Structure 1
Amino acid sequence: MACHIDTGRHDTLPRMEQRVVGHSGLRVSELGLGTMTWGRDTDALDAADQLRDFVDAGGTLVDTAASYGGGDAERVLGSLLDGQVDRAELVLCTKAGLVRTRDGARADTSRRSLLDGLDASLARLGTDHVDLFLVHTPDSSTPPAEVADTLQQVVASGRARYVGLSNHPAWASSYLAGALARTQAPVTALQLEYSLVQRGVEHEALPAARALGQGVLAWSPLGRGVLTGKYRGAVPSDSRAASPHLGAFVSQYLDARATGVVEAVATAAAGLGREPLEVALAWLLARAGVASAIVGARTPGQLQASLAALDLVLPAELYDALDDVSAPEGGYPERWDGAPPL
């Protein structure tokens, strides 16, 4: 059996709440550990420190994907499961359906792509199953019925205990939920980007998830890093926004609207004597339907900063103020009030 290495720091950290994912029996920690940078910006030693600190704080959900670092993130995680952390302590989530070709990344959720991707992930992780398997991205060229059949096969074969979707619009998650409702592979989880600077999921995706009993795993809960406040005034040279492979990923949240939200979060944090990222995480974790917020720390120090947010409950008036200042723009038809035309 793998040994559990104690860092000696867990007594200083708040313990994580375990939450049920939707209407399933799957339980995950309120914070999830993202691994997108592992094997690329985060080396194996820092990854090991992150994983041990995360488990010591009561963390269970570890999120990865076949496409992260061309498989390197899963390789690093697999090496840590082999002797450093007990596999049974974790809820492993991986994703397939986003493949890289000579011409760049493209969606491919065909039966062949999903099953081959999952089998390769299991080999890299050194396990015979994952706890949660997600279709990474929508693919307009694959019939939804084929995706549904494949997800049933994944569960029936024992490769995954639960299945779900990532980055899918409400109509797609609703269709697949209907197709799989009476099978052994219902759509249990939706992984969606959700933060104070990205609340588009509130239009349709979140209401649909709640109605269908699906739990939400929020990725990029810190708005791709901008809600830490690190970009107030300038872009640090060692930040994601300054990196060649993640600069465009971050830059869309450096506009005037997002900056206004960041300033409101920073003001709230100063009033509470806390850090901006703690306020941002506390706001998100209080949202209905959110089972876990997945933090993608590049360094152990960044993860420690997120773990420090676990004991923060925002005062109601502050929660409402942040809700107002970050409210997403309305849209038709999901926010039509039914008023007849004049």
Structure 2
Amino acid sequence: MSYRANPKRYQEITFNRCGHSGIKLPAISFGLWNNFGDRDTLENQRNMLTRAFDLGITHFDLANNYGPPPGSAEKNFGRILHEDLHAYRDELIISTKAGFRMWDGPYGDWGSRKYLVSSLDQSLQRMNLDYVDIFYHHRPDPETPLEETMAALDHVVRQGKALYVGISNYNAEQTKQAIDILQEQRTPFIIHQAKYSMLDLTIEQGLTNVLSEHGIGCIAYVPLAQGLLTNKYLNGIPKESRAAKDYIPFLNERDISSDVLQKVKKLNNIAAARGQTLAQMALVWVLQQESVASALIGASRVSQIEENVKALDRSDFTPDERKAIREIIE
């Protein structure tokens, strides 16, 4: 039976304008960083993507190297898009990125024009798309001139392969330099994808001011600190968790210190008093930042997506709650 979207999907979620652009993003967006590689079942991937869309999540975020193996998340997403979601393509914001190692040799990494243009061509082929809505440079390149990297982003827009561009993992100074170049080129630069959670406040040290000043939106990735801001790790490391997967190097046992766990337990108490799970409170907390238009979640099963969207049922904080949270995390 072919998939038909929930006709009430746009009643399920809040949309926020992305900076000063014409684009609105769902407050919760869905990232395919993990759980969409060839080691994961296509059936579960399909169930998560279609359920996310039924809940009003219109933004799906990928990168060339997502998997494992690299490229497999785009390939699997492209198959599901073709088989189930193709009728809704114009209702979707699909983004991808390039900037980390993707293929052998000197042209398969970082930020050269050669790499970025070639990578986007490969991404479009894997997803069977004519264009993506947002194309990001995934990380700053210390050796390639920033002018070349930004010119490559401008080039793919003028080719019609991307509607908008963004950057990710740039600091405040690098972001300001990118803004200056892209504005001079009149490139539709609308978004910065930055790491942000109650356990990582780095972007508050200048970056959010730059984004607000120049009307650039922010989408917060790992807002749940890769699962640390959930109930998952309060009693050890579950076998099915990210920290237990040896092929995911970004979270491991040394990240789960006693100091971190003490913070997490205190935050969990505040969430419980609010009538929310810790994950729900953590999501709405990053959305309180003025420049943040969307919180980018990952998931391994449908129930996690459903829980995260329910976070928006209680998105306000009292002054006492804000103060208590800040005292814990700062």
Question: Do 2:64 and 2:71's aligned partners in 1 also have CA atoms closer than 8 Å?
Answer: yes
| 1:107 to partner: Cα distance | 4.3
Give a deviation string over 1:82-137, Cα, whole Å, max 9, x none: 1311211210010012124569xx84110010001100001111111111010011
Give a deviation string over 1:253-284, Cα, whole Å, max 9, x none: 41244223211221012212321111111211
SS at match of 1:93: strand
CA–CA distance in structure 2, aligned partners of residues 289 and 17 of structure 1: 16
SS at match of 2:133: strand
Match of 1:285 in 2: 287
Match of 1:15 in 2: 12
CA–CA distance in structure 2, aligned partners of residues 214 and 138 of structure 1: 18
| 1:237 to partner: Cα distance | 1.4
Match of 1:150 in 2: 152
Question: Do 2:137 and 2:167's aligned partners in 1 also have CA atoms closer than 8 Å?
Answer: yes
CA–CA distance in structure 2, aligned partners of residues 90 and 211 of structure 1: 28
Which of 22, 25, 31 in structure 1 is aligned with 2:22? 25
CA–CA distance in structure 1, aligned partners of residues 62 and 72 of structure 2: 10
Match of 1:331 in 2: none
CA–CA distance in structure 1, aligned partners of residues 253 and 171 of structure 2: 23
Question: Do 2:94 and 2:133's aligned partners in 1 also have CA atoms closer than 8 Å?
Answer: yes
Which of 231, 237, 249 in structure 2 is aligned with 1:235? 237
Q: Does 1:76 align with 2:76?
A: yes
Q: Does 1:51 align with 2:49?
A: yes
Counterpart amino acid of 2:326? D
Match of 2:329 in 1: 326
Question: Do 2:146 and 2:178's aligned partners in 1 also have CA atoms closer than 8 Å?
Answer: yes
| Segment drifting more, 131-140 vs 40-49 | 40-49
Give a deviation string over 1:19-40, Cα, whole Å, max 9, x none: 1111111221111101012024
Corresponding pairs, count: 321
CA–CA distance in structure 1, aligned partners of residues 145 and 64 of structure 2: 22
Q: TM-score under structure 2 normalisation?
A: 0.91
| 1:182 to partner: Cα distance | 3.2
Distance 1:250 1:90, change over 3 A: farther
Q: Does 1:218 align with 2:224?
A: no
1:27-176 matches, cutoff 5 A: 27-37=24-34, 38-40=36-38, 42-69=40-67, 70-85=70-85, 86-100=88-102, 107-176=109-178
CA–CA distance in structure 1, aligned partners of residues 40 and 207 of structure 2: 32
Distance 1:204 1:189, change over 3 A: same
Distance 1:248 1:164, change over 3 A: closer
Match of 1:333 in 2: none
Counterpart amino acid of 2:22? G
CA–CA distance in structure 2, aligned partners of residues 57 and 164 of structure 1: 25
Distance 1:29 1:300, change over 3 A: same
Match of 1:332 in 2: none
Counterpart amino acid of 2:186? Q
CA–CA distance in structure 2, aligned partners of residues 77 and 101 of structure 1: 20
Counterpart amino acid of 2:131? H
Question: Do 1:226 and 1:253's aligned partners in 2 also have CA atoms closer than 8 Å?
Answer: no
| 1:173 to partner: Cα distance | 1.1
Counterpart amino acid of 2:178? L
| 1:41 to partner: Cα distance | 5.1
Counterpart amino acid of 1:43? T
Question: Do 2:31 and 2:297's aligned partners in 1 also have CA atoms closer than 8 Å?
Answer: yes
Question: Do 1:14 and 1:307's aligned partners in 2 also have CA atoms closer than 8 Å?
Answer: no
How many percent identity over aligned positions? 30
| 1:63 to partner: Cα distance | 0.3
1:301-316 matches, cutoff 5 A: 301-316=303-318
Question: Do 1:41 and 1:298's aligned partners in 2 also have CA atoms closer than 8 Å?
Answer: no
Tell me the C-alpha RMSD between the 2 structures.
2.1
| 1:65 to partner: Cα distance | 0.4
| 1:211 to partner: Cα distance | 1.3
Question: Do 2:224 and 2:279's aligned partners in 1 also have CA atoms closer than 8 Å?
Answer: yes
SS at match of 2:251: helix
SS at match of 1:131: strand
Question: Do 2:103 and 2:109's aligned partners in 1 also have CA atoms closer than 8 Å?
Answer: no
Structure 2, unaligned runs of 5 or more: none
| 1:248 to partner: Cα distance | 4.6
SS at match of 1:249: coil
